[in-house]
Structure 1
Amino acid sequence: MKLSTNLFGKSYRFRDLKAVMAKANEEKSGDQLAGIAAEDAKERVAAKLVLSEITLGDLRDHPLIPPEDDEVSRVIEEAVNERVFAEIRHWTVGELREYLLRQETGGEQLRRIGRGLTSEMVAAVAKLMSNLDLIQAAAKAEVVTACNGTLGHRGVLAGRAQPNHPSDSIQGVKASLFEALSYGIGDAVIGVNPVIDSGDSVRSLLEATKDVMTKWEIPTQNCVLAHVKTQMRAIRGGAPADLIFQSLAGTEKGNDAFGINVELLDEANELIHRQGTGAGPNLWYFETGQGSELSSEAHHGVDQLTLEARCYGLARRYRPFMINTVVGFIGPEYLYDSRQVIRAGLEDHFMGKLHGLPMGVDVCYTNHMKADQNDMDNLAVLLTAAGVNFLIGVAMADDCMLNYQSTSYHDIATLRETLGRRPAPEFEKWLVRMGLMENGKLTPLAGDPSLFM
C-alpha cells in the first residue's frame, strides 16, 4: 500500500492510513482541533491523490480501529457481504467513485455495492467527491422503509414534526404539532425531545401524540427522543411507542459516553418489535452528527467524517425506519461555518444512502456558529435535490427547548412546492381528506392550526 506521492515539486509521505484518511478530508474545525487535519490545501490534495489509488482490499486489511478493540468495528466487519466484496476488493477508491457516478438512477446497484463496503470505504470515497458528486450519487439511491406509513419513495420529501416545549407542556406540544400538521408536516414522524428524561414524562408525551394520531386518524408514527433506557421503561409500562430512538457514536468508547452498547441496543430492538405499537417492520429512529466522538475523547485519532460513517455501519444492523445527522448542532468547534456545515450535510446524506439507510438531515446551526438561516436554506435546497428522505421541522425554525436553529414547517412545505416534491403517499391522502392539500399543492386552509382545535 503506497502512502506517498510527489505533487507540485514536493514529496508527501503519510505516516499510516489513518493519516491519509484524516488529511484527505475537507477542511473541518474538528479535525483541526484534534490535530490531525491537513496543514494546507496542497497537503490535502496530495492525501486525496494517495487515497484515490488505495484499494478497497487495503482499506479492509488495515482497519483504522481494529475489531478486537472496538465493537462498532466488529459490527461493521460482520455485516460485509463477502460475495460482493470479493468482486470489488481490487478496485481503488478512485474507481469506486467513478462506478458510483456512472450508475443509472434507481439505486439497485448502489444498494448491492453498499452491502460489500465497510464504513471506512464509504468514508474514503466521500472524501474524493465534490459537493455536486455527493448530490448526484445520493440522488440515485432510493431507500424505502415502512412503519405505520412509508418513507423514502422517489419524489417524496417527508418532514419530522418536532413540537418541543421547554417544560414538556402537553398543551404546548400539541399547539406546535397542530401547526406542523396544518402545513403537511409530520409524515416522517411526530418526534418530541423531552426536557424530563423519566419514564412517566416519556409515557405522557407518547400518549399525547398517540391520542392526536388516533383522533384525527393520521397515518404516521410517534417517538419520544429520550435515552433508550428511559424509553424501554416507558414501553414496558405500556406506553404507545411506534419507534424507539437513540443517538449513536462511531466508536465503542463514544457509545459508552452515551450510556449504550450493542447488547443494550439488541435488547431494545427485541422490545420494540415485541411491545411497540408500530406496524413495522422498521422500528428504529437514530440520530448522529460529526464531532460527537471528539467531544467524548473517543475518536482514536480518526477524522470526524470517517467516524460519522461508522455510525451508519452500526445503525444498519437494526434496519431503521429513519436516521438523520443533526449536522450543525454540536457547534463551531467541529464545523466552524456554513461552508463546513453544508459540506458535512451532503457528505452525511451520501454516506447514509450508500449504507442503504433511509437518510434524513436536521439542517441546523447554533447561534455561535458563523452561519445564518440563508445558509440553511441553501443546504436544504441541495439536500432536496439529492433526494433526502426527510428534514426536521420546528415552529418558526427556532427550537425553543434545544436552543438551536433548524428548518420550519413552512420551509419544508416551500421546498416541496418549489422542487416538485410530495409528502409520503399515505400522509398525502390524509391531507387531501382534511382539505389541506389538493393535486399535490397546499390549499388556503394550510397553516391554520385551529383546524385541529
Structure 2
Amino acid sequence: MSYKTSIAHQNYVFADLKTLMAKATPLRSGDELAGVAAENATERVAAQMALADIPLKNFLNEVLVDYDRDEVTRLIIDDHRADLFAPISHFTVGDFRNWLLSSDATTEKLQSLSMGLTPEMVAAVSKIMRNQDLILVASKCEVITKFRNTIGLKGHLSTRLQPNHPTDDLLGISASILDGLMYGNGDAVIGINPATDNLQNLTELLKLMDHIIQEYQIPTQSCVLTHISSGIQLAERNVPIDLMFQSIAGTQLANEGFGISLDLLQEGYEATLALKRGTVGQNLMYFETGQGSALSSHAHHGVDQQTLEARAYAVARKYNPLLVNTVVGFIGPEYLYDGKQIIRAGLEDHFCGKLLGLPMGCDICYTNHADADQNDMDVLLTLFGAAGLNFIMGIPGSDDVMLNYQTTSFHDALYLRQLMGLKAAPEFDTWLSEQGIFKQSNNRIHWAEHMPAQFSKLLA
C-alpha cells in the first residue's frame, strides 16, 4: 500500500509503510548509510505529514518485517492486547500525539495502555514529535521494578555502578566499587563487563560482588555482562547470579547475530528465577540495546534504525526485566554521527521504551571518533532528569578503561540528584544514610568528607 502527500506544490509517494517510516525519521547517519533516509528536509517533512494521517490500526495489518520469517514480528502481533488498544484504536498517529500531550493522558492511563501498543506505533508517533514532546510524555510515565530494591519511582534516579577493569583485576574492581559507593552509585546494579569471558573468571567476579553486597548488606544487585548461554551455565552451577544479562535487537536475524533466540532468552529467564535471589521482587533480566545494531549485522530488512530499536523493546518486555539500557552512542558515528543525533536518539529510546512499559535507563555515551563531547552528554543527562529516566551509568572519571568509550561518571549522578532533588532507590537511600555516606540537612544532601571506617577492609 502506497502513501501520498504534497508539500510546496510537489507530490510525494511512499511505496509502503516501511519506506514512509524511514523517510519520516529525523536525520541520522545510520539511515543514510542504509540508504533509507529522506533525500532532503522537504521530503522528510512530507513523510512526517503523511505519517501523521496514518491510522494506528494500520500497524497491525501492515508489518514492516515479514511475519513468517521473523519471530520478533510474531511476538509483537501475537502478544498484542486488542482490548487495551481499543480506547485509542480510532486514532491516527497525529491524534495519538495530540492525546499523549493532553492532560487526559495520565500516568495511570499510560500504564494500562502499554501492552496495547506495538513498537511500530510508538516509533511512528515519536517521529512527529519535538524533543520537548518526548520529554513531557516520558515524564508522565512511571515504570517500577524490584529485585533487592525498588527502581523507577518518580522523584528517584538510580545508577549502574560499572567498575570495569582491562584485566579483570579484583583489587582494581574493588577500588572502583568502593569509589562508586562513596558517591551514592550502584542502586540499579553493580555490573561488570568482563575482559575475559570464561566461566572461571566470570565466577570469581560474581563471587566478589556477592561478597561485597552481603558483607555490607547493600540493598542492590550484581551482574556480569556475559552472553546468556554462559549465564545459564553459571546458574546451573549455582553461582550467585542476581541478574541475567543479554544484548538484544529488533529482528530475528539480528538476534541470531548475537547468538540468541526467544527460546534461549526464556531459558535464561527461568534459570535465574529458579535461584530465587530477589528479596523485594523478581524482576531479574538486564537487557542492553542500541540504535544501529541490526544494520551493523546486515539484519535490518530495510527498516530504519529507530523503529528497529523500538522493536527490541518488545523482546525485552516479554521477560519482565529489572533494567533496560539503551547504550545510545556506543556503536559509533556511522549510526549516530554527532551530539545532536545522540541526544535525539536517547530521548526517542526513552520515550518509546517507557510507553511500552519498560524500565528504561541510558548509557549516555559517545566514542572518541564521534563528533560529540562531554558537554553534549551533560545536555542529554539533564534532559533525562526532566524526562524521568530510571537509571544512568556511573564510571570512574567518565572514561571506561576497558571498553574505551566516554560515558557518565560517579559525580554526574550527584549533579543530577542535587539539581532536581532526586533520590536513589528508597532502600539504597536509607542504606547510604545508615552507613554515613550521605547525610541530609537544610533540605540538601551532603556526602561524607572521609570514607567511613567500615569500608577500609574492602581494599585490605
Task: Report the 3-state secondary structure (helix = DSSP H, G, I; strand = E; otherwise coil) of the residue aligned with 1:342.
Answer: helix
Q: Map residues 7-22 of structure 1 onto 2, 5 A cutoff.
A: 7-22=7-22
Could you tell me which residue of structure 2 aligns to residue 416 of structure 1? 417
Task: Report the 3-state secondary structure (helix = DSSP H, G, I; strand = E; otherwise coil) of the residue aligned with 1:343.
Answer: helix
Report the Cα offset of residue 404 of structure 1: 0.3
Could you tell me which residue of structure 2 aligns to residue 434 of structure 1? 435
CA distance in 1, matches of 2:452, 2:33: 45
Q: Deviations over 1:118-167 (max 9, x none)?
A: 11101001111100000000000011100011100000011110000001
Task: Report the 3-state secondary structure (helix = DSSP H, G, I; strand = E; otherwise coil) of the residue aligned with 1:242.
Answer: coil
Q: 1:146 to 1:328 in 2, by over 3 A?
A: same
Normalised by the length of structure 2, the TM-score is 0.96
Could you tell me which residue of structure 2 aligns to residue 445 of structure 1? 448
Contact map agreement 1:183 1:447 (CA 8 A) in 2? no
Identity of matched residues, %: 50
AA paired with 2:112?
R
Could you tell me which residue of structure 2 aligns to residue 102 of structure 1? 102
Contact map agreement 1:106 1:142 (CA 8 A) in 2? no
CA distance in 1, matches of 2:209, 2:276: 15
CA distance in 1, matches of 2:261, 2:136: 35
Could you tell me which residue of structure 1 aligns to residue 211 of structure 2? 211
Report the Cα offset of residue 231 of structure 1: 1.2
Q: 1:444 to 1:302 in 2, by over 3 A?
A: closer
AA paired with 1:319?
N
Contact map agreement 1:185 1:409 (CA 8 A) in 2? yes
Report the Cα offset of residue 89 of structure 1: 2.4
AA paired with 2:433?
V
Could you tell me which residue of structure 2 aligns to residue 275 of structure 1? 275
Q: Map residues 7-406 of structure 1 onto 2, 5 A cutoff.
A: 7-103=7-103, 107-279=107-279, 280-406=281-407
CA distance in 2, matches of 1:83, 1:39: 39
Report the Cα offset of residue 87 of structure 1: 3.2
Count of aligned pairs between the two proteins? 453
Report the Cα offset of residue 378 of structure 1: 0.6
Could you tell me which residue of structure 2 aligns to residue 4 of structure 1? 4
CA distance in 2, matches of 1:424, 1:446: 22
Q: 1:436 to 1:146 in 2, by over 3 A?
A: same
Q: Deviations over 1:401-423 (max 9, x none)?
A: 00000000011111100111111
CA distance in 1, matches of 2:247, 2:450: 31
Task: Report the 3-state secondary structure (helix = DSSP H, G, I; strand = E; otherwise coil) of the residue aligned with 1:55.
Answer: coil
Contact map agreement 2:158 2:187 (CA 8 A) in 1? yes
CA distance in 2, matches of 1:181, 1:213: 11
Q: Deviations over 1:217-271 (max 9, x none)?
A: 1000111101111111112112111111100010000000000000100111110
Task: Report the 3-state secondary structure (helix = DSSP H, G, I; strand = E; otherwise coil) of the residue aligned with 1:275.
Answer: coil
Normalised by the length of structure 1, the TM-score is 0.98
Q: Deviations over 1:274-310 (max 9, x none)?
A: 0252333211100000000000000000000000000
Report the Cα offset of residue 6 of structure 1: 0.9
CA distance in 2, matches of 1:262, 1:447: 48
AA paired with 2:141?
A
CA distance in 1, matches of 2:449, 2:314: 39
CA distance in 2, matches of 1:276, 1:163: 25
Report the Cα offset of residue 335 of structure 1: 0.1
Q: 1:43 to 1:450 in 2, by over 3 A?
A: farther
Question: Tell me, which stretches of 5 or more residues in structure 2 are unaligned?
Answer: none
Q: 1:446 to 1:77 in 2, by over 3 A?
A: farther
CA distance in 2, matches of 1:450, 1:74: 55
Q: 1:145 to 1:68 in 2, by over 3 A?
A: same
AA paired with 1:390?
F
Q: Which moved more, 1:397-406 or 1:431-440?
A: 431-440
CA distance in 2, matches of 1:82, 1:434: 49
CA distance in 2, matches of 1:193, 1:49: 43
Question: Tell me, which stretches of 5 or more residues in structure 1 are unaligned?
Answer: none
- Give the root-mean-square deviation of aligned CA atoms: 1.4
Q: 1:405 to 1:436 in 2, by over 3 A?
A: same
CA distance in 2, matches of 1:277, 1:132: 40
CA distance in 2, matches of 1:232, 1:92: 43
Contact map agreement 1:241 1:276 (CA 8 A) in 2? no
Report the Cα offset of residue 85 of structure 1: 2.2
Report the Cα offset of residue 68 of structure 1: 1.3
Report the Cα offset of residue 54 of structure 1: 0.3
Report the Cα offset of residue 331 of structure 1: 0.1
Contact map agreement 1:200 1:234 (CA 8 A) in 2? no
Q: 1:44 to 1:212 in 2, by over 3 A?
A: same
Report the Cα offset of residue 9 of structure 1: 1.2
CA distance in 1, matches of 2:228, 2:339: 32
